[in-house]
Chain A
Amino acid sequence: MGTGSKGSVIASILDDLTHLQIDTIIKSGMIAADPPEKVEELLTGVLGEYVRKLGVISRRNELDRFPRALSAKSFLELEELLIELQNFMDRNRIRMAEPDYILYSRMVYFCRYIKSKDEEFAVKGQPNVKLSAFNLVDSPDFELEGVSVRDKAKLRRYHDLGTEKVVLQTRIGLDGDVVARIEEGFANSPKQMLLDIHEKHTKLSVDFWSNLVNTVVTFVGKLFDFKS
């Protein structure tokens, strides 16, 4: 791992530790199924969901004339497809609806995240194949190596989020910054019950975090008791 890479990992961990994010999503027809335990299934699930949603976005934004089939078997293929789609829209002066563009950006971000992990994640038994280019669809029994606990948590988070639209988002930073985002459609006709639930979640998150800080402060306090 190079110095730059180490630096970005530390920055990413610090960002994680010093920020809390509370997202509320409106979703019809939920099921109480737990996410898959295996990382391989999480990845395949995310790719499948992104490709499916890309079809929906394409129909919704009248992108029928796009000359390529909207399918991808790897994250590299998906990224190429997304870039081609963007170029096609630019050429034809088509603008996606804002919520769809947010999903589009999330897909691009995730593809690049997987590509950035090509040196760390390895497909077992295939040393020359990079994960981003690996055909996930036709390889149901593949195994991944080198996935850290932190990456596993991130993959699980993206699997949970899927392609859902976040209507309420609160991001709280250690420096005191609080950013609240409300989706335009929801802001025009808000539901008090959802706001109450979001507020409760925000309080839970802040309390949990402040308890962690208090524990560290107590420990350090004991240390200084003895130092003096």
Chain B
Amino acid sequence: MGLLRSTSLRALLLTGRYTVHTPMPSEDGGDPVLITIFYANGDILAFVDPERLDSDPRQAVVHLEKIERLAQELIVPWKWIEWAFSSMVTIGSFVWLYLQDTRFLISFLVSAALGVLVVGIRKVALRLVVRILFRIARWIYHSVVSRQDK
């Protein structure tokens, strides 16, 4: 399940599409009866071979189950975004520290500590970032407006 999740999401992010075959080429080596291509913008293209489906209606049930699983995998929870943010802080701080001529071990330890801290208080940290982004946006807006007023 975990592997499937990463596969479908990764394929969507990297190639912009994810394909579900029934049967899978690896399952019986045969050609598919049903193909669903899911695109990153939410569009779907489905191909059905009606003659082969008539001779083996079980394939439709299997395919519908796969689609049901895909639907669950593609619902990215808010929590996932919080974790992604925490990881970004950890990696970002490490790269930044290392580029500041900080020694590798110190960079690693500080960013790891920061990462652990952010994981622990990720909700608060995320809110902090949202607030900073909001302040920056407001500052840009006001500086543009005041420049136009002059």
- Chain B 66-110, CB-CB to A under 8 Å as 1, else 0, gives 011011001110100100000000000000000000000000000
Q: In the complex, A30 Cα to B63 Cα: how many Å?
A: 15
A residues 187-228 near B (Cβ < 8 Å) are 191, 193-194, 196-198, 200-205, 207-209, 211-212, 215, 218-219, 222-223, 225-227
Q: In the complex, A209 Cα to B74 Cα: how many Å?
A: 10
Of B28-36, B113-121, B140-148, the one contacting chain A is: B28-36
Q: CB-CB < 8 A to B70: which residues of A?
A: 204
Q: CB-CB < 8 A to A25: which residues of B?
A: 45-48
Q: CB-CB < 8 A to B51: which residues of A?
A: 28
B46, A197: Cβ atoms under 8 Å? yes
A227, B71: Cβ atoms under 8 Å? no
B residues 102-140 near A (Cβ < 8 Å) are 126-127, 130-131, 133-134
Q: In the complex, A193 Cα to B68 Cα: how many Å?
A: 16
Nearest opposing residue in chain B for A149, CB measure = B16
Interface of A is mostly: helix
Give 15 A-B contacts (CB < 8 Å), ordered by A residue.
A17-B41, A20-B41, A24-B48, A25-B47, A26-B49, A28-B51, A28-B52, A30-B33, A30-B49, A34-B19, A153-B17, A200-B64, A201-B67, A203-B71, A215-B78
A153, B40: Cβ atoms under 8 Å? yes
Interface residues on B, range: 35 or more
B46, A201: Cβ atoms under 8 Å? yes
Residues of B within 8 A of A (CB): 16-17, 19, 21, 24-25, 31-53, 57, 60, 63-64, 67-68, 70-71, 74-76, 78, 81, 126-127, 130-131, 133-134
Residue A183 at the B interface, CB < 8 A?
Answer: no
B74, A193: Cβ atoms under 8 Å? no
A residues 18-69 near B (Cβ < 8 Å) are 20-32, 34
- Chain A 111-136, CB-CB to B under 8 Å as 1, else 0, gives 00000000000000000000000000
Partner of B17, one of A32, A156, A209: A156
State the interface size on chain A (CB cutoff 8 A).
Answer: 49
Nearest opposing residue in chain B for A194, CB measure = B48
Q: CB-CB < 8 A to B52: which residues of A?
A: 28
Partner of B60, one of A22, A196, A208: A196
Q: How far is the CB of A189 from chain B (nearest CB, A)?
A: 11
Residues of A within 8 A of B (CB): 16-17, 20-32, 34, 149, 152-153, 156-157, 160-161, 164, 191, 193-194, 196-198, 200-205, 207-209, 211-212, 215, 218-219, 222-223, 225-227
Q: How far is the CB of A174 from chain B (nearest CB, A)?
A: 11
Given contacts A29-B49, A30-B32, contact A200 B74 (CB under 8 A): no
Q: In the complex, A203 Cα to B47 Cα: how many Å?
A: 17
Q: In the complex, A26 Cα to B53 Cα: how many Å?
A: 11
Closest 7 CB pairs of A and B: A32-B25, A153-B16, A209-B42, A22-B44, A201-B44, A24-B46, A20-B42
Q: CB-CB < 8 A to B48: which residues of A?
A: 24-27, 194, 197
Q: CB-CB < 8 A to B25: which residues of A?
A: 32
